[in-house]
């Protein structure tokens, strides 16, 4: 779907998430949300916080799994995705702390693989993700699944693309300070979600959105894999959709 503005689009996505939370609440079940970081979902989180504060939407039955985290990364570092999620959402809603899952940037290298397997297992134990929200990087990455990622890839340690690190350099005060690696859910992990929503805003995403939606499916642009799934919705503003 294409919306006139990022604000309107973000409100729609937030309402879809709220509907899942309420539906699960009514059934006495947990809502399992796959969450993303970056600038793209900020207004979705803002709307969810508003729904919590003004309309009493509770996150008591919500379990979350974030897509990715830089590696290495301390949770209290300003640039960590843990800090981002607290600031944008978790500090402002009533989600139980133990329901929050974010890949751990503090692991010793020898512990990463076991952590990744356990992360996948934990998602399955909760019955899978009810919805996964995604942004898209200019390399065509989803999560941190950079070009070369396999369609059946699982949660793992990856090396970040140079363009991705350049795009992140502002947050880190220079590309040389951006970690070279990250732990990310795999393309296969994302695909298991019952519903996937990829959001993109602004002119600067128009080129990669066009490739992701209309381009040949290829590991060169992992977002093209989304064309293979029927449970995917692209939510765009008019600028991001301008190349379609």
Active site residues: 146
Is 221 among the residues that bind ligand GLP (CB under 6 A)? no
Contact 142, 136 (CB under 8 A): yes
Single out the residue of 68, 130, 146, 161 in contact with ligand GLP (rule: CB under 6 A). 68
- Judged by beta carbon, residue 39 or residue 244, the one nearer ligand GLP is 39
Q: How many CA within 13 A on the CB side of residue 41?
A: 28
- The conformational region for residue 216 under phi > 0 = left, psi -120 to 50 = alpha, else beta, is beta
Q: Which stretch binds ligand GLP (CB under 6 A): 43-51, 93-101, 131-139, 147-155?
A: 131-139
Write down the least CB distance from residue 47 to ligand GLP, Å: 16
234: Cβ contacts below 8 Å, ≥ 6 apart: 1, 198, 200, 209, 212, 213, 226
Is 67 among the residues that bind ligand GLP (CB under 6 A)? yes
Single out the residue of 65, 90, 144, 191 in contact with ligand GLP (rule: CB under 6 A). 144
Tokens of 170: 């502002």
- Judged by beta carbon, residue 53 or residue 175, the one nearer ligand GLP is 175
Single out the residue of 105, 140, 143, 222 in contact with ligand GLP (rule: CB under 6 A). 143
């Amino acid at each position: 779907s294409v919306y006139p503005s990022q604000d309107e689009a973000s409100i729609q996505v937030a309402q879809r998430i709220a509907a899942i939370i309420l539906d699960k609440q009514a059934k006495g079940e947990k809502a399992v949300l796959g969450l993303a970081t970056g600038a793209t979902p900020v207004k979705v989180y803002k709307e969810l916080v508003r729904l919590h504060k003004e309309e009493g939407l509770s996150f008591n039955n919500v379990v979350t799994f974030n897509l990715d985290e830089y590696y290495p990364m301390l949770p209290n570092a300003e640039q960590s995705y843990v800090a981002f999620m607290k600031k944008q959402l978790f500090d402002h809603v009533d989600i139980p702390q133990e329901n929050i899952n974010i890949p751990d940037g503090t692991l010793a290298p020898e512990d990463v693989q076991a952590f990744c397997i356990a992360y996948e297992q934990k998602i399955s134990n909760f019955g899978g993700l009810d919805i996964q929200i995604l942004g898209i990087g200019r390399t065509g990455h989803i999560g941190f699944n950079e070009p070369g990622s396999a369609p059946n890839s699982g949660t793992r340690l990856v090396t970040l693309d140079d363009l991705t690190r350049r795009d992140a350099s502002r947050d880190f005060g220079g590309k040389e300070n951006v970690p070279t690696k990250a732990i990310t859910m795999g393309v296969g992990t994302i695909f298991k979600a019952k519903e996937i929503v990829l959001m993109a805003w602004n002119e600067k995403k128009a080129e990669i959105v066009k490739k992701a939606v209309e381009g040949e499916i290829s590991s060169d642009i992992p977002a093209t894999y989304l064309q293979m799934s029927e449970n995917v919705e692209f939510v765009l503003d008019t600028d991001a959709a301008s190349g379609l």
